[in-house]
Structure 1
Amino acid sequence: MTSNESGSHVGRRTVMAGMAGLVGAAALPPVTAAGDPGIQSAGRTSMRRYPSPWPELEPYGLADTRPELWPREDNSFVLPLELRPRDDELGRVWMRDTYVNCFLVDGRPQYVATGTTRAPGVSGPAPWNDGLFVWVSSSLSGPWRLADTTGIRPDVEKGKVWSPEFVGENRSGRTVVAPWQEYWYDEQFGKRGAVWAPEVHFFRGTWYIAACMGDHSRKVGSFLLVSEGGVEGPYRLAEGNVDKPFGDSFIGGPAFIEPGAYHHIDGSIYTENDDAWLVLHNDLYARFRDDMEDIIPTTGLPRFQQRPYEPEPYLEGAYVFKYGGKYFLLHAAWNRTSTNADGTTRNAYDPAGPGRVQYHYDAIMAVADHFEGPYSKRWSAGVGAGHNNIFQDAGGRLWATFFRNPRFGYWSDPSRRDKATVPGVVRMEWTGPTTNRLYVQRPRH
């Protein structure tokens, strides 16, 4: 995530509006590039009353499930992204890991949206999907159009900026698709290879995409694409990723992943002034070289100073955002229900185990004075809003993305699945420079 204090960065994710029970854009005031004068921007601090933070839950690791922290009709909506032919039947874009951001390009706000999508005829993003799509807009409320890639690849679906199928574009000294990113086949799964969790960044006048090859790829891990044109590309692979993903390999992931093939996933970018860092799940980071072709160091990466839960569960989607002079570290964590000794329900960010049932894929957050930490205790920032990013719109307001994870828990219920995997955005609120907490915008009483 780019700092809100960086020069080129403004701010990171309704066709569905008419569907019963679904968050709709009509539930919120129109959001335009000029901003909403009814909401104070972050810079207008004089005479302002900040919302109060909630007390920390004890013991540390309990999850806050109050409905005030859910994306609701009064604080969120689903982006009206331009549909592709594959989206017609569903009536919206199927998306996980929704990412949205706003950048200042040639003096004007440029909104971008992307995420993990699925190929036609495939129920999810695995064992293969067909690449990365990007949408653009001059306003958060739209219209959102697919990036115009027709001048680069006239015979390829509009908006697709990168895919393993572009391997034929490799040339000497210019790699578009590395061998470890290509599609491959086996008897168990057939076609394999998927790209997940993309982010689009505009840094020092160049467009970049950080993304991850998923569990069914030859090698699993994060990589960087560099545009040789605009946000639509054409993109090539950074030199440091020609042979492998960023960082070290280790034992991890499902049993079908080949030994040595698993690297750290969910790569994110944080920029501040003229410097850029790679953030990897769930506690690693590294500075990019000045030319952005690789990271320093390439292996043995340093770790954020965090306050883990005891025991620490599996976390995903590490992401850093700077606001009000503080650094906020986000993670996605499963809020699991279990039963206390007195028969009451316990909601906590516990590891998987007997009697623990996945309930919501939450956004948890911690704050620090420095990028590397030490970070505070974590708190629940958004129920069901995990694997997200935070961004500022052109008017200075804070938003976060969400997608409603249908794999387990609340959104996996058959009665709700048609409202999951959406490109959603929800307003955030800041509790001010003294307490420095960010939450999904809670109802005002």
Structure 2
Amino acid sequence: MTSTDSGQPRRSLLAGIVGLGAAAALPTAAAQAAPAPAEAARPGRYPLNWPDPEPYGRADARRDLWPREDNSFVLRLELRPRDEELGRVWIRDTYVNCFVIDGRPVYVATGTTNAPGRDGPTPWNDGIFVWVSSSIEGPWTLVDTTGIRPGAEKGKVWSPEFVGENGPGRTVVAPWQEYWHDDRFGKRGNVWAPELHYVRGKWYIVACTGDHSRKVGSFMLVSEGGVEGPYRLIEGNLDKPFGDSITGGPDFIEPGAYFHIDGGLYAEGQDAWLVLHNDLYARFRDDMEDIVPTTNLPKFQQKPYSPEPYLEGAHVFKYEGKYYLVQAAWDWKSDNLDGTTRHAYANHGSRRRQYQYDAVVAVADAFEGPYSERWTAGVGAGHNNFFTDHHGRPWATFFRNPAAGYWDDPAREADAAVPGVVQLEWTGPAGNRLYVKRRDLGRTVGG
């Protein structure tokens, strides 16, 4: 989720850049492929909207909507000792942003990572890591936390391990976020999908406790220093995640312990909102210590598929005066009666199988909506965030989901779970769509 906080036009505040295949893709080549700011802003020349597959709910699987070597690249994040054998950082739910502070861009990166010696983030991982840079091309270094925790692992800004830092009037790790054990899984407790934001002169992290936690849901941390922390838990999450418990999640989650996941932050001017999955949002209190209490959390006005699939990673991004609601959906591949292949986000066809974890987007004139019909903005780019670089150019992150589908193939394992960034293109004030930057399909005058 993206936010603003300097009084400057939004286009000058946020960040991004590009690569497909592997970490070998050159950032310099990707930067040369990006349009110059003057050209990108020139009125009257925009790429076309693509006609959507019909009926509504079909997925657009065209190769031009994939992150490719000509429109994306994988960030070279500083390695931790656990990364040395793989040779790169293993990461999911990649998040990248940039904030202009004291006139200079500060780029940040984070995501879901694994603990040493583990091949994924379940049933436990060891917290949230943050990388920083003055440029999207890098060098990307782990944020310096050594002044806060001398001798501890550099770059780790929050972890259930930090429970010992709790003190009177200051909670870093709540009881429901601590590690715990059971006979079925052993050690349990994890944190997923963190986002980093700079709002009203303070750094915030919004993240989610994973399915193996005592309570599963979204929470927010606030820094008492700089981007490196130290962070503490806000007042509204001392006893539970945001919102109320709901039905859902795997069968090993205890009844009443599942809340709305994938929380993120959207800020504009002096206002800030929490955005959750299941179409929900909530306004933050002025002090940002909790959401404004309400009987039922409000819902975005949007056009669901029929049937509506399970959606994740919801966030709102503002660009050129419009609000873009971005969500992640699985493209299910199945067989039509005539033997052709069908791609759909809500699919109950024969022999259906997961194909790609896509980013689907809708646009509106207001934060709450009503939002347009959704379209496929990026194939395999689900559970990402949209942002703009300090030149005003839009980008998105991707990570190539190794949980299922295309990137679950053992032959592609080396290229999955990566910190990727891909260029976006805007179809102008008439089209008002954002897509992964497609190949040169021609331009249309006047949008």
TM class by shorter chain equals over 0.9
Alpha-carbon RMSD: 2.1
Q: CA deviation at 1:340?
A: 1.1
Answering whether residue 312 of structure 2 is matched by residue 316 of structure 1, we say yes
Q: Match of 1:205?
A: 201
In 1, distance between residues paired with 2:430 and 2:6? 23
Instruction: Check conservation: 1:98, 1:402, Cα contact below 8 A.
Output: yes
Q: CA deviation at 1:327?
A: 0.4
Q: Match of 1:7?
A: 7
In 1, distance between residues paired with 2:176 and 2:54? 45
In 1, distance between residues paired with 2:413 and 2:403? 9
Q: CA deviation at 1:274?
A: 1.1
In 2, distance between residues paired with 1:38 and 1:51? 13
Higher relative contact order (CA 8 A, sep 6+): 2
User: Aligned AA for 1:22?
Assistant: A
Q: CA deviation at 1:43?
A: 7.4
Question: Within 5 Å, which residues of 2 pair with 1:250-399?
Answer: 250-297=246-293, 300-350=296-346, 355-399=351-395
Q: CA deviation at 1:208?
A: 0.3
Q: CA deviation at 1:26?
A: 1.4
Question: Within 5 Å, which residues of 2 pair with 1:402-421?
Answer: 402-421=398-417
In 2, distance between residues paired with 1:358 and 1:37? 32
In 1, distance between residues paired with 2:256 and 2:28? 48
Instruction: Check conservation: 2:4, 2:269, Cα contact below 8 A.
Output: no
2:113 is aligned, of 84, 99, 117, to: 117
User: Aligned AA for 2:404?
Assistant: F
User: Aligned AA for 2:344?
Assistant: A
Q: CA deviation at 1:25?
A: 3.8
Q: Deviations over 1:92-123 (max 9, x none)?
A: 00000000000011110000000000001111
Q: Deviations over 1:151-176 (max 9, x none)?
A: 00012100000000000000111100
Answering whether residue 280 of structure 2 is matched by residue 245 of structure 1, we say no
SS at match of 1:236: strand
Answering whether residue 218 of structure 2 is matched by residue 222 of structure 1, we say yes
In 2, distance between residues paired with 1:209 and 1:43? 31
In 2, distance between residues paired with 1:354 and 1:264? 31
SS at match of 2:222: strand
In 1, distance between residues paired with 2:139 and 2:213? 34
Q: CA deviation at 1:299?
A: 5.1
Q: Deviations over 1:367-424 (max 9, x none)?
A: 0011111110000000000000011111111110000001100000010011000000
In 1, distance between residues paired with 2:148 and 2:5? 33
SS at match of 1:296: coil
In 1, distance between residues paired with 2:16 and 2:178? 28
Instruction: Check conservation: 1:6, 1:271, Cα contact below 8 A.
Output: no
Residue 122 to residue 13, structure 1, CA distance change in 2 (3 Å): farther
In 1, distance between residues paired with 2:310 and 2:365? 25
Residue 67 to residue 56, structure 1, CA distance change in 2 (3 Å): same
Question: Within 5 Å, which residues of 2 pair with 1:49-198?
Answer: 49-198=45-194
Q: Match of 2:227?
A: 231
Q: CA deviation at 1:202?
A: 0.3
Identity of aligned residues (%): 70
Instruction: Check conservation: 1:13, 1:113, Cα contact below 8 A.
Output: no
Q: Match of 2:42?
A: 45
Q: Which runs of 5+ in 1 are unaligned?
A: none
Q: Deviations over 1:282-315 (max 9, x none)?
A: 3000000000000012552000011000001111
Residue 408 to residue 225, structure 1, CA distance change in 2 (3 Å): same
Q: Which runs of 5+ in 2 are unaligned?
A: 442-447
Q: CA deviation at 1:5?
A: 8.6
In 2, distance between residues paired with 1:388 and 1:248? 25
User: Aligned AA for 1:44?
Assistant: A
Q: CA deviation at 1:74?
A: 0.2
Residue 52 to residue 4, structure 1, CA distance change in 2 (3 Å): farther
Provide the TM-score with structure 1 as the length reference.
0.94
In 1, distance between residues paired with 2:253 and 2:38? 47
User: Aligned AA for 1:188?
Assistant: R
Q: CA deviation at 1:266?
A: 0.3
Q: CA deviation at 1:350?
A: 1.6
Instruction: Check conservation: 2:3, 2:198, Cα contact below 8 A.
Output: no
Instruction: Check conservation: 1:247, 1:298, Cα contact below 8 A.
Output: no
In 1, distance between residues paired with 2:91 and 2:208? 15
Q: CA deviation at 1:44?
A: 2.4
Number of residues of Structure 1 aligned to a counterpart in Structure 2: 438
Provide the TM-score with structure 2 as the length reference.
0.94
